[in-house]
Amino acid sequence: MFIDYQEFARRADSIRSAIAAAAQQAGRDPSEVELLPVTKTHPAVAADYVARYGLHGVGENRVQEGVEKRAQTSTAASPLRWELIGHLQSNKAKLAAQHFDRIQSVDSDKLIQHLGRAATELGKTLPVLLQINAGNDPAKFGAEIAHAPRLLDAALAQKYLQVDGLMTIAPLGSNAAETTAHAARTFTTLRLLRDDLAARYRLPLRELSMGMTGDFAIAIASGSTMVRVGTALFGPREAAPAP
Ligand SMILES: *Cc1c(COP(=O)(O)O)cnc(C)c1O
């Protein structure tokens, strides 16, 4: 059985405290770090909990699941931003542009062309993040670091795309210490890349979406502005969704 709202609120309180503690330890203002609950594989009521609690958005990793869930959520709750955080195939770009408020997983020229065309047809400015494989993990999606400038050029050439920043997922290690080391290295790399691009292009690129249940404190120490948390809020997912 899925958790009830009280349980969700307890967990959200505790994660928000941990976020605040990590921010303070890093000398940062906790309000600079947004908690994005990841509702993938969970029922639509998960998104209603998020709205009722007063958070502003949710992350989904599959287009179809997100579209269906969004349609099932209560409209009485405050409006949520729906963010796509999972790999997006070009042939689903139009559907994603229609139903999501931001796409965090933009990692190829081809996808940028498709999203740009879809947003133009919809006459809607679509915020995006560029997903960078900052940990050089062969198992992860995301553009290579060296391709980031080319990707940014391509996105900036699209009138209806708005680049808010960068996103990454850290590679897992074979043990906890290695995972921590990978995470620290990956997140610092992404922040330095952002700082470099922001200076060269004279853009804010404010959003650094990095950190999940297992590594959000490390991500906050490295400058994360958005942590994407699923398991710690909603419990384990039954089956890992196909990419
Ligand atoms: C599933 C997912 C998350 C959340 O992971 P947890 O470990 O459950 O917090 C974050 N980001 C992406 C891209 C995901 O697919």
Please tell me what DSSP assigns to residue 73: S
Report which ligand 1 atom has the smallest distance to the Cα of 85: 13
Contacting residues for 48 by C-beta, under 8 A, at least 6 apart: 73, 74, 77
Question: Ligand 1: distance of its center to the CA of 206 in Å?
Answer: 21
Tokens of 216: 């959000």
Percentage of the chain beyond pLDDT 70 is: 96
Mean pLDDT of 228-238: 94
CA of 178 to the centre of ligand 1 (A): 19
63, 84, 228, best to mutate for ligand 1 pocket (most atoms within 8 Å of CB): 228
83 pLDDT higher than 80: yes
Give the mean pLDDT of the chain.
Answer: 95
Mean pLDDT confidence for 147-154: 98
Confidence band for 76, pLDDT divided at 50, 70 and 90: low
Strand arrangement, sheet containing 81-84? 34-37, 226-229, 207-209, 161-167, 126-131, 102-106, 81-84, 57-60
Q: Can you state the angle between helices 176-201 and 148-156, rounded to 10 degrees?
A: 50
Residue 45 pLDDT class (50, 70, 90 cuts) = very high
Ligand 1: centre distance to CA 228 (Å): 6
For the stretch 202-214, pLDDT in tens is 999 999 999 999 9
CA of 210 to the centre of ligand 1 (A): 10
25 in contact with ligand 1, CB cutoff 6 A? no
Find where tokens 């940990």 sit. Answer: 135
Q: Which two tokens stand for residue 138?
A: 């062969």
The domain ranges of the chain are 5-234
Residue 112 and residue 67: Cα distance in Å, rounded?
20
More confident residue, 140 or 36: 36
Nearest CA among 166, 161, 206 for reference residue 186: 166
pLDDT digits (tens, 9 = 90+) for 94-121: 999 999 999 999 999 999 999 999 999 9
Residue 185 has pLDDT above 70, yes or no: yes
38 CB less than 6 Å from ligand 1?
yes
Distance of CA 212 from the midpoint of ligand 1 (Å): 6
**pLDDT interval class at 239 (50, 70, 90):** low
Strands (E) across the chain are located at 34-37, 57-60, 81-84, 102-106, 126-131, 161-167, 207-209, 226-229
- Residue range 5-234 forms a domain whose CATH class is alpha beta
Residue 98 class from Cβ within 10 Å (0-12 exposed, 13-18 middle, 19+ buried)?
middle
Determine whether 99 is exposed, middle or buried from the number of CB atoms within 10 Å of its CB (0-12, 13-18, 19+): middle
